[in-house]
Structure 1
Amino acid sequence: MAKANYQGQVKHLSDRLIELQKPIRILDAIKWPARFERDFLASGGTSLPPADLRYYQGIDLGFDPDILRDRFLNLRGEVRRKLGRNDGLGGILCSTIDQYLLVIELLRTRGSADFGRYSQQLYGSARDHLRGDRKSLRQLGEKLCEIFSLPGAGHLTRPYEKNIPATEAVSILSQRLGQYFQPGDIRVILSDGIVSDAAAGGDYIKINQDVDFTEFDLQVLEVHEGWVHVGTTINGRRQPWASWLSVGSPRVTACQEGLAVLMETLTFSSYPRRALKVSDRVVAVDMAEQGADFIEVYRFFCERGLPPADSYKITQRVFRGGTLRGGSVFTKDLSYLRGFVENVNFIRSSIHSGVPEILPMLFVGKVTLDDIPVLYEHYLEGTIEGPHYIPAMFRDLNGLYVWFGFASGISVINMARVQKHFHKLFSDIPKVAPLYDKVIDSAVD
């Protein structure tokens, strides 16, 4: 097939995929209203939210599942006929279509035992093993919960208060993101219609008008929602042929969320409580998958020291769409930790394999790690356009190469022996208020 004809076919099929997926809104189809939280907390955490099968049946999907399923199946057949069964970009398109077919079944089964089965097919299970390792996500999540719950973690974040109102947060983020994006490419707006603190859309970030923020919160939103989620969307929209890279099915969720958490880390924007939240989500999913009900998971986090409102939020994220008795739950929150580990290992492997130049393709659009070699090949021949918005450390890879090169080398060291040596030094340190408080005070004076 001539190059121009091939590119035209990719564009036509991509645009059709974008059009078909438009009415699918997973989170809107399983969301809970704010009154559920108010009533639950008012009951002292004893009265289950009324999120049963009847409740979900009352939320209109905005599409006919059978009709949409048939249209996706027709598109999959057309992709195979026009691009061929062995075409790389065609394979990605078909895999994306298969994901949307699963999503239709996921939403069709809201509030039932089957919902959890489809969720596991889309997002995985907490008992899944990490790629290339024997440890499960739950085991890693527990280990990280332990690390981020150490006394020192609380000392570090104690001086940072939620004293930035939403209106000021909008102004600060608009100014900062204006230095990363071109004028008009992104908006930061107030919203009274979201449950979370903030949410990213195609070219905007919504800020909950009823929430106050810390400086750390704004740093996280800048790189997580702005650089990664909005940035990859805009990069996908700039594709001349592969327009589907601007939209994300669940198959890209782990790569997207993991990359966003990784960027928080590489820019030193994250903080222990934030990292603990990511780890807690894995534990919550596993408990619910293994049969703990809504109240049991909620009480578990209350007993761990989380405030009731925070315990509710982490619990409802897992139980939305499924059954409150446990077993059938929404496993999307595994994506943050799974994706972080997989992105780190992808970067390290690209360095060991001698192809670090492939790394900017992480930002080319909504992708999975397995897509990137195929996309890079088509980038070299001109069908895929390179990413326009790329964080500085991925534009000039020297520092990133050295960082991950050292990390890979140090990984061969026996950390148990190292910790044993330094533990002797640390064990005699007086347990007093952290010295940085005095440094901060003197700086303010």
Structure 2
Amino acid sequence: MPSQQYLEQLKTLSNRLVALQKPIRILDAIKWTPEIEQAFHASGGKALPKVGPEYYQRQALGFDPERLDRELLALDRDIKRQLGRGDALGKILKSTVEQYQLVVQLLRHRGRAEFGDYSRQLYGSASDRIRGDRKTLRTLGERLCDIFSLPAVEHLNRPYPRDIGAETAVAMLRQRMDRYFGPGQVKVSISDDIVSDAAAGGDTIKVNRRASFSELDIQVLEVHEGWVHIGTTLNGREQPWATWLSVGSPRITGIQEGMAVLMETLTFSSFPQRARRVSDRVVAVDLAEQGADFCEVYRYFLERGVSEHDSYRVTQRVFRGGQVSGDRGAVFTKDISYVKGFVENVNFIRSAIQSGVPEIIPMLFVGKVTLDDLPLLYERYLEGVISAPRHLPPMFRDLNGLYVWFGFSSSLSLMNIARVQQHFSKLFEQLPATAPLYPGSNNGKRDAELD
């Protein structure tokens, strides 16, 4: 067990970072108003949105970039001086501070070419390779898009009418959050100032007053925003010394968004159209990084059968904060995190099982972490410096079912799926022509825009 002096220094430095990052709101600083979308559609999707450096300058950051940069630099020096250059927890804390220094630069260059450079430093690129594999994220994204666009998808659709209003959605989510976290631990409220249908931050879920939801949308929000994003925040806040684990710099985005998508999958909350939307984001980032402008990316999805609304949404997410002209690939690359994080989390869990250390898996929920942090954090947990995660999804609290699920999936991956499919295709050819299992399920309505 480290000395009390060391622990107190660690906590003091951690609390300084928590306080310094508090006014930083990346998505708020680069969000677009509904009027931009209205003007774009009014042009028939042919005029680039009028969003440039001047537009972003009118959106206050809520902090002084130069002052915050100086304070982060001072904190960086104090971490090295007080904890030592070789201290393992100090290195994680220092890496997080350096991330926020890059975030300050990212937001100072909104609407400019340098924005894309900082975004790639923080979130990566669609041309990055999957850890431990040669495939790029773009290749994986395209493959997933193909899978979630197969004709079979239409045979799976069932009626999930979006007939739940915002007030009812708030009541339903509040009840579910109380059941999972305990009464009053998570706030759920109506909001008039968010662009998406719902969003989470800290210990709060906000629901757009103008939005409507299906029962499946509510289930997605419960596990994605609640169990993962809010759950890891609250677990981080309960850390006695490493309090920075409650805040999320971009370095942890992949594991967070990937785990949220994985939870949707493990709880059977997701559906093909939503999975396709997540996969489309990787393709959109790559197109924009290669120099396509806003209109070109928008038309790419429109020509592939994506609705005008969803084509705009996936394109807008990538170009917010960057340059709509496509110059130098100056775009926001955060949206690769969903697919990248999903794959790397699955590979981490499978590897932990194969390596005989499944006990490390619950540490995925200990706070805002990266996969590389986990072995060290587990060691510090054994020493009593890090507290075990309190809020854990059922399948991560008792790992038996998860172990079996990943065990079977690992074994199936050894099979030649092409040959297996060829075998069963001969049986399927004997089937009469079939209609969708749940005809007319979508009723012409778009899917909810859940982050």
TM-score higher than 0.5 = yes
* Contact residue 157 and residue 437 of structure 2 kept, 8 A: no
How many Å separate the matches in 2 of 1:428 and 1:138? 36
Q: Identify the residue that residue 350 of structure 1 maps to in structure 2.
A: 352
Q: Identify the residue that residue 448 of structure 2 maps to in structure 1.
A: none
1:111-138 Cα shifts (integer Å, max 9, x gaps): 1111101101111111111011111000
Matched, 1:17 2:17: yes
Q: Identify the residue that residue 444 of structure 2 maps to in structure 1.
A: none
* Contact residue 48 and residue 325 of structure 2 kept, 8 A: no
1:372 Cα deviation (Å)?
Answer: 0.8
Q: Identify the residue that residue 396 of structure 1 maps to in structure 2.
A: 398
1:202-239 Cα shifts (integer Å, max 9, x gaps): 11111111111112111110000000011111111111
Pairwise CA RMSD of aligned residues? 1.4
Q: Identify the residue that residue 100 of structure 1 maps to in structure 2.
A: 100
1:312 Cα deviation (Å)?
Answer: 0.9
Secondary structure at the aligned position of 1:386 is classed as coil
How many Å separate the matches in 2 of 1:2 and 1:355? 24
Q: Identify the residue that residue 445 of structure 2 maps to in structure 1.
A: none
* Contact residue 228 and residue 363 of structure 1 kept, 8 A: yes
Change in Cα spacing, 1:39 to 1:276, as seen in structure 2 (3 Å) is: same
1:104 Cα deviation (Å)?
Answer: 1.1
Percent identity reads 66
How many Å separate the matches in 2 of 1:12 and 1:422? 62
1:406 Cα deviation (Å)?
Answer: 1.3
* Contact residue 154 and residue 272 of structure 1 kept, 8 A: no
How many Å separate the matches in 2 of 1:99 and 1:304? 37
Moved runs in structure 1, 4+ residues, more than 6 A? none
| Counterpart residue type for residue 330 of structure 2 | S
* Contact residue 41 and residue 309 of structure 1 kept, 8 A: no
Return the structure number with greater relative CO, CA threshold 8 A, min gap 6: 2
Give the TM-score normalised by structure 1.
0.96
1:176-216 Cα shifts (integer Å, max 9, x gaps): 22211111111211111110011001111111111111121
Alignment of 1:150-161 (within 5 A): 150-161=150-161
How many Å separate the matches in 1 of 2:171 and 2:24? 32
Aligned residues: 438
1:279 Cα deviation (Å)?
Answer: 0.2
Q: Identify the residue that residue 447 of structure 2 maps to in structure 1.
A: none
How many Å separate the matches in 2 of 1:406 and 1:87? 40
Change in Cα spacing, 1:167 to 1:2, as seen in structure 2 (3 Å) is: closer
Q: Identify the residue that residue 442 of structure 1 maps to in structure 2.
A: none
Change in Cα spacing, 1:429 to 1:30, as seen in structure 2 (3 Å) is: same
Change in Cα spacing, 1:293 to 1:2, as seen in structure 2 (3 Å) is: closer
Alignment of 1:150-299 (within 5 A): 150-299=150-299
| Counterpart residue type for residue 26 of structure 1 | I
Q: Identify the residue that residue 146 of structure 1 maps to in structure 2.
A: 146
1:158 Cα deviation (Å)?
Answer: 4.0
1:306-337 Cα shifts (integer Å, max 9, x gaps): 22111111111000010011111000000000
Alignment of 1:67-106 (within 5 A): 67-106=67-106
| Counterpart residue type for residue 362 of structure 2 | P
Secondary structure at the aligned position of 2:331 is classed as coil
Secondary structure at the aligned position of 2:180 is classed as coil
1:151 Cα deviation (Å)?
Answer: 1.5
Where in structure 2 are there 5+ consecutive unaligned residues? Answer: 441-451
